[in-house]
Amino acid sequence: MSFTDKVVTIERHIIEEEQAHPGATGQLSAILRELTLAIKIIYREVSKAGLVNILGLVGRENIHGEQVKKLDAFSDEKIFQAMDHGGHLCVMASEEHEDIIPIPPQYATGKYVLLFDPLDGSSNIDVNAPIGTIFSVYRRMTPSGPGMLEDCLQPGYKQVVAGYVVYGSSTMLVYTTGDGVHGFTLDPSIGEFLLSHENIRIPSKGKTFSINEGNSVNWTDGMRRYIEHVKKDDKASGRPYTGRYIGSMIADIHRTLLTGGIFMYPADRKSPNGKLRLLYEANPMSFIVEQAGGRASNGVTRILDIKPTALHERTPLFVGSDEDVRICEEFLAGKR
């Protein structure tokens, strides 16, 4: 009897990825497994988000007499609680915290660093738009002891793992360890993430552009001319492109990863460095898109080559199909 579709849980995939690297110590696998547990707990609360106002949960006491936190604070706390005691990390940093998050002194420290955005796009919760969790893992730079700020301020090309979860019509976890990009869809009936998109590859050119056109009054001339370009009727080059913008970076980039095209959050006169954060949003998403064969820049420089100077620094972001991002960069540089 032949078994056709093998069922690959994310735990099995992580172990098989580890076995493919002879020098692996298992620490990275343990980090991913612990993170997956926190993500399942976040999923459970996010999936009830629509009930929050009805059941009066947020901002009031729950049946245990505990103050119920907003979902982004809840998600932040669950990731910290899952990751603080495993002995694999020397420091963490979260989009929800101004400074680095030390490992409590009662726990051992390890050789890795975890940066995370516990719930990106949380402003979309009340309208039931997709939201997400984003994470990056780096090796520590300092030799030993408690991790420091410099362990968190590494260029994106030093990431050893990057991943995101999109809590949407289905909940999907997408991650890379530098050996391709793989997607797992949550089966809530068994509480397991199952391999559903092995070795995701982004098309070299797409037909969708994604940008908040409400900001066009503040765009540079090059930005304006690129958007005019993709809207022009030219069937031979697959134009006009379709416009798609959800206002949740995770969902917009996830769609771009799977179907191709370009997602843009440019700098403009109002926000000279754009809105998105380099460490918590641009770096992990850029590592993933590059691993799938795409391209990511700030319009001039490869995102993963940018040396961060502050935990919450922002960057313009142009990410997606290689050909689309290259053409956009040419318009931004005034070459077209």
106-125 footprint of ligand P6P as x/- string (CB under 6 A) = --------------xx-x--
- Structure tokens that stand for 112 in this block: 């890795």
206 binds ligand P6P (CB under 6 A): no
**In the complex, minimum distance from the CB of residue 211 to ligand P6P, in angstroms, rounded to a whole number:** 8
Cα separation, 336 vs 333, in Å, equals 8
Cα separation, 310 vs 150, in Å, equals 10
**In the complex, minimum distance from the CB of residue 328 to ligand P6P, in angstroms, rounded to a whole number:** 17
Please count the other Cβ atoms lying within 10 Å of the Cβ belonging to residue 57.
Answer: 17
Q: Note whether 154 and 173 are within 8 A (CB).
A: no
Interface positions, 256-285, toward ligand P6P (CB under 6 A): 275
Binding footprint of ligand P6P, residue count (CB under 6 A): 9
Task: Decide whether 32 or 134 has the Cβ nearer to ligand P6P.
Answer: 134
210 binds ligand P6P (CB under 6 A): no
Least Cα distance to 253 among 283, 216, 222 occurs for 283
Only segment of 35-43, 78-86, 107-115, 246-254 that touches ligand P6P (CB under 6 A): 246-254
247 binds ligand P6P (CB under 6 A): yes
Q: Which residue in 9, 27, 212, 220 binds ligand P6P (CB under 6 A)?
A: 212
Cα separation, 167 vs 47, in Å, equals 8
Only segment of 33-41, 144-152, 231-239, 242-250 that touches ligand P6P (CB under 6 A): 242-250
Q: Which residue in 172, 202, 249, 289 binds ligand P6P (CB under 6 A)?
A: 249
Cα separation, 176 vs 287, in Å, equals 8
Residue 98's Cβ-count burial label (10 Å; 0-12, 13-18, 19+) is exposed
Q: What are the counts of helices (DSSP H) followed by strands (DSSP E) for the chain?
A: 9, 13
248 binds ligand P6P (CB under 6 A): yes
- Chain residues in the site for ligand P6P (CB under 6 A): 120-121, 123, 212, 247-249, 252, 275
